Amino acid sequence: MRILVICGCGCGSSVILKMNAKKVIDSLGINADLEVSDTTTYKGAVKDADLILVGSEIAEVITEINVPIIILNSFVNKQEIRDKLEVFFKEKNML
């Protein structure tokens, strides 16, 4: 599974979310590669993605894609990340 983490600049907040999401995903026993991108380059990276993680502050910018998106209110709230990822993985019969 390939997960794309998108933030405004592709630096700070997406790296924090990537690290927190990776910890959660590993604890769920899911094999996934996580990549970071930003709002200006994500369309090139999204073509191979199975899932997108994005913060609520930029979610409306992520348009014209055919990939599931999980919108997060906090990049550091591991419980929110876990809850939303569990729903996604259960829907995909991965849990």
Cβ pair 3, 32 in contact under 8 A: yes
Among residues 1, 12, 3, 2, the alpha carbon closest in space to that of 75 is found at: 12
**Which of residues 2 and 13 earns the better pLDDT score?**
2
CA atoms within 13 A on the CB side of 3: 23
The predicted structure's pLDDT at residue 61:
87
- pLDDT score of 10 more than 70: no
* pLDDT at residue 63 in the model: 85
Confidence of residue 29 (pLDDT cuts 50, 70, 90): very high
B/e letters for 8-40, b = 16+ CB within 10 Å, e = fewer, are eebeebbeebbebbbebbeeeebebebbbbbee
Q: What is the pLDDT of residues 60-77, one digit of tens each?
A: 888 888 999 999 999 899
CATH superfamily, domain 2-91, is Response regulator (3.40.50.2300)
pLDDT of 15 reads 87
- The amino acid at residue 64 is E
Q: What is the pTM of this model?
A: 0.91
Q: How far is CA 48 from the centre of its chain?
A: 13
